[in-house]
Structure 1
Amino acid sequence: MARAGKKAAVAAPAAPVDAASIVLPEELEQWLLHLQVERRLAPRSLELYRDALRRLVALSGQDGVVLRQAQPHHVRGWMAALHAGGLAPRSIALILSAWRGLYRWWGQNGLVAQNPVAGLRPPKAPKPLPKALSVEQAVALAEHEPSDADPALAARDHCIVELLYGCGLRVGELVGLDVGAGEGAAGWVDIADATVHVLGKGSKRRSGPVGTAALAALRRWLAQRALLAAPGERALFVSKRGTRLTDSQVRSRLRRQALQAGLPTSVHPHMLRHSYASHLLQSSGDLRAVQELLGHASITTTQIYTRLDFQHLAKVYDAAHPRAKKKE
């Protein structure tokens, strides 16, 4: 019976239903005032910290623990209760950060001998898989001719999709491309060599191949670019005003194209980079080559696409294998 009671206590909700109405003790209000006045925390951050302290009061009250006498095993139990109550790992991490800060402040003022939260880590948050388009969806988007009254804008938007999906570029790398490899150019496309050169994360340069379809789209755009580009503008992709296209403008135009192409999902530039990597891995199985093309410093970053590849294979199996189909 004792064991069952202990398990029930751990599995209790993270805080009582009326936790929002808990009045904080003066010693906790003093710390919040310190954060507001001395640290100048934003109102939203203060509210999150206040919520964390209310949970602390609720949980310690359930265990009958005086806050300044709390030990690491108490905090571990409270953290377990938060997790059992359905709180996400990131939310628990924020709450632990607030508690840690409180005990650190008490320690600096000689009110506690140790910080019971020091060294404690929240549960690990699962890493979500990157979202990628299917091969059919990506091809449909790449082959879609944007319906725009301005043929120059249509050519530009089509070229953007071809380079994002055909070269696996980040949106920052794309908008950083210049016309030609002039002095100070962050990136450019060498049409004669069918190669794109970009300045990636950490100011690392990399080069990659440009496919036939992307080169054709680039030539069509370059034939129209002069109609939009301002005099002396070096950017490869420009807006209606003739200046370098921004990240947000690319995202907006890409969403528009995906809707026009009939894709059932919201598409953003990085999704095309994920699709590029996933589809390459599905076809080649060469993880090292995909790492090189993406410009990843560590292969562990690229390995996430093996999970996407496995998902694809699992779907193929479920759809095709006679022993995987459910009996009707």
Structure 2
Amino acid sequence: MAISSEPTASAPPDWIAKYLEHVRVERRLAARTVELYAFHLQALRENAAEANLPLDRVQTAHIRRWMAKLHSAGREPRGIALVLSCWRSFYRWLGHEGLIGFNPVQDVHAPKAGRPLPKALGVDDAVQLAELHDEDADPWIEARDRAIVEILYGCGLRVSELTGLDAQASNTALGWIDLDAKEANVLGKGSKRRIVPVGSKAAEALQEWLDVRGDRSVPALFVSSKGARMSSQAVWKLLRERSLKAGLAAPVHPHMLRHSFASHVLQSSSDLRAVQELLGHANIATTQIYTRLDFQHLAKAYDAAHPRAKARTDKDK
């Protein structure tokens, strides 16, 4: 319902203060959240004042204009969405209080955020993690964990595909590794099977693990110290701990090794279709995100090596 076009008195100056009291006392929002609301609503008040508008005369066109201003100033889409959420809640409260006839923010949406780049390790960091030998660890656990790192990084498996591997092929196995053929047969998303080559380092680490693994009656390839199939959570934990022991700057998780596998293969081969097949992506558009990672790698190499790029950098400094 549109409001009347007739001029109205200026909005009471305590509307924002009353709303902040409402969210603090009745909605019991955290103090930090209330502070952010106060900050964003002060910006709303200033925008309205610049347009010579009381808060109850703000229209959707004004909100869109102020959002465009934030966007052009470099505010990230997520930050704009938070501002809009605050303003939208404020005007919704005004409506519930019977102080306005419509919510000017109701149909305004923040710009879509770009798809974030997957996190991948540099080649040196990935090799540093893979080559870690923890002399203080239990030899059984060390052999298992080294094999897990080598398979994740060397084959680009999802953590669910890794934990689903059995020690031997069978009619009931979700996946397995054929060491003679140096191939991993895995069941991926959508129950799609694919075969991934297993590199020499991964095959060597896996053979060392199989030599000490023990109980052959357990079908799972990777098992806990209690003999149960390893969970995804257990793999996340061991990778986090192992990456810290390797001296990496940030903890590593299983999907980071999958991203590293894809990025490093693409950097070396430039064969996007091959990477798509290795990762088991149904759509090549999903794989194309790694071309952005590859470009970042090339851009850094250019900035570090090209004399004109170096001159540009020195000038900028």
Counterpart amino acid of residue 205 in structure 2: A
| Alpha carbons 2:19, 2:90 under 8 Å: kept | no
Alpha-carbon offset, residue 98 of structure 1: 4.3
**Residue 134 (1) aligns with residue 119 (2):** no
**How much is the aligned-residue C-alpha RMSD, in angstroms?**
3.8
CA deviations over 1:122-153 (Å, ceiling 9, x no partner): 24445443332333332333233333442111
Counterpart amino acid of residue 176 in structure 1: G
Aligned residue among 64, 68, 73 for 2:61: 73
How many residues of Structure 1 are paired with residues of Structure 2 in the alignment? 296
Structure-2 residue corresponding to 1:211: 199
Change (3 A) 1:161 1:167: same
Change (3 A) 1:280 1:164: same
Structure-1 residue corresponding to 2:38: 54
SS of the residue 1:90 aligns to: helix
Structure-2 residue corresponding to 1:10: none
Rounded to whole Å, the distance in 1 between the matches of 2:125 and 2:245 is 12
| Alpha carbons 1:52, 1:95 under 8 Å: kept | no
Change (3 A) 1:321 1:52: closer
Structure-2 residue corresponding to 1:146: 134
Rounded to whole Å, the distance in 2 between the matches of 1:222 and 1:43 is 54
Counterpart amino acid of residue 80 in structure 2: I
TM-score by length of 1: 0.72
Structure-2 residue corresponding to 1:170: 158
Rounded to whole Å, the distance in 1 between the matches of 2:36 and 2:77 is 14
Alpha-carbon offset, residue 72 of structure 1: 1.1
| Alpha carbons 1:90, 1:125 under 8 Å: kept | yes
Change (3 A) 1:253 1:147: farther
Change (3 A) 1:265 1:68: same
Structure-2 residue corresponding to 1:267: 252
| Alpha carbons 2:163, 2:230 under 8 Å: kept | yes
Rounded to whole Å, the distance in 2 between the matches of 1:298 and 1:242 is 38
Aligned residue among 267, 272, 275 for 1:287: 272
Rounded to whole Å, the distance in 2 between the matches of 1:142 and 1:57 is 51
SS of the residue 1:207 aligns to: strand
Structure-1 residue corresponding to 2:9: none
Alpha-carbon offset, residue 277 of structure 1: 0.8
Change (3 A) 1:299 1:102: farther
Structure-1 residue corresponding to 2:229: 244
Rounded to whole Å, the distance in 2 between the matches of 1:98 and 1:183 is 56
| Alpha carbons 2:220, 2:229 under 8 Å: kept | yes
Alpha-carbon offset, residue 195 of structure 1: 2.7
Question: What are the equivalent positions in structure 2 for 1:195-234 lying under 5 Å apart?
Answer: 195-201=183-189, 204-226=192-214, 233-234=218-219
CA deviations over 1:105-125 (Å, ceiling 9, x no partner): 776898755442244232444
Change (3 A) 1:171 1:86: same
Rounded to whole Å, the distance in 1 between the matches of 2:136 and 2:15 is 59
SS of the residue 1:146 aligns to: coil
Change (3 A) 1:115 1:297: farther
Counterpart amino acid of residue 313 in structure 1: L
Change (3 A) 1:24 1:233: farther
Rounded to whole Å, the distance in 2 between the matches of 1:30 and 1:202 is 48
Question: What are the equivalent positions in structure 2 for 1:12-23 lying under 5 Å apart?
Answer: none
Rounded to whole Å, the distance in 2 between the matches of 1:32 and 1:205 is 54
SS of the residue 1:196 aligns to: strand
TM-score by length of 2: 0.74
Counterpart amino acid of residue 182 in structure 2: A
Unaligned runs of 5+ in 2: 1-13
Rounded to whole Å, the distance in 2 between the matches of 1:102 and 1:201 is 43
